[in-house]
């Protein structure tokens, strides 16, 4: 009963309808990138401001999930970031698939973030969003990155609660509300 009330209060506080399915995420959380943009570092800073116990591993693999109770996947493709990480597009896709398979095996829920707005969208980011967002239990995105409704369509089709924020700095409160 208490958990249901907390979930209901979290939905209302996040601006989500009461009927939306939401899981309150547990800590610690592993934060990693899907596309190696710098947005993953911004997510880590905002998670720290929210008081969350997190570990940032930009190119995490399944073994990095050992102590994690939540996987925070930050979408944003950057060819410069991929090069700096020593990855190409196919290696990055393989890494993310292995990580998501590991999360599924361990029962680790995924919180998806897209913080780069319209500037961080593009063919590769969109391809990753289409491929990996359906595995998320919840998504939080900067509104300008969802002008075409890509996140809205996928989340609606997969019954994934979606929270839009105006700017990256607005991420702290939804993160606090999404975690126990």
Which three-class secondary structure string do you get for the chain? CHHHHHHHHHHHHCCCCCCCCCCCECCCEEEEEECECCHHHHHHHHHHHCCCCEEECCCCCHHHHCCCCEEEEEECECHHHHHHCCCCHHHHHHHHHHHHHHHHHHCCCEEEEECCHHHHCCHHHHHHHHHHHHHCCEEEEEHHHHCCCHHHHHHHHHCCCEEEECCHHHHHHHHHHHEC
Query: 64-86: buried (b, 16+ CB within 10 Å) or exposed (e) per residue?
Result: bbeebbbbbbbbbbbeebbeebe
Find the mean pLDDT for residues 147-161. Answer: 96
**For residue 16, is pLDDT > 60?**
no
Query: 129-151: buried (b, 16+ CB within 10 Å) or exposed (e) per residue?
Result: beebbebbbbbbbbeebbeeebb
Residue 15 gets the label, from left (phi > 0), alpha (psi -120 to 50) or beta, of: left
Find the mean pLDDT for residues 41-67. Answer: 97
Confidence of residue 5 (pLDDT cuts 50, 70, 90): very low
Find the mean pLDDT for residues 30-49. Answer: 97
Find the mean pLDDT for residues 146-163. Answer: 96
**For residue 88, is pLDDT > 60?**
yes
Q: How far apart are CA 32 and CA 72, in angstroms?
A: 6
Find the mean pLDDT for residues 143-164. Answer: 96
Lowest-confidence pick of 3-7, 11-15, 155-159: 3-7
pTM exceeds 0.85 for this model: yes
Confidence of residue 180 (pLDDT cuts 50, 70, 90): confident
Is 10 or 85 the better-scoring residue by pLDDT? 85
Find the mean pLDDT for residues 93-118. Answer: 97
Is 134 or 119 the better-scoring residue by pLDDT? 134
CB 100 within 8 A of CB 110: yes
């Amino acid at each position: 009963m208490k958990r249901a009330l907390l979930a209901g209060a979290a939905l209302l506080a996040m601006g989500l309808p009461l009927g939306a399915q939401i899981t309150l995420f547990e800590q610690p959380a592993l934060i990693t990138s899907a596309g190696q943009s710098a947005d993953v570092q911004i997510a880590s800073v905002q998670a720290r401001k929210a008081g969350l116990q997190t570990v940032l591993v930009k190119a995490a693999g399944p073994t990095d999930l050992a102590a994690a109770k939540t996987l925070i996947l930050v979408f944003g493709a950057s060819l410069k970031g991929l090069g700096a990480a020593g990855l190409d597009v196919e290696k990055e896709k393989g890494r993310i698939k292995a990580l998501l398979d590991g999360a599924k095996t361990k029962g680790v829920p995924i919180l998806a973030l897209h913080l780069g707005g319209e500037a961080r969208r593009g063919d590769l980011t969109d391809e990753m969003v289409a491929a990996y967002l359906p595995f998320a239990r919840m998504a939080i995105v900067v509104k300008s990155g969802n002008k075409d409704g890509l996140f809205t369509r996928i989340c609606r089709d997969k019954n994934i609660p979606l929270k839009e924020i105006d700017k990256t700095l607005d991420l702290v409160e939804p993160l606090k509300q999404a975690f126990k």
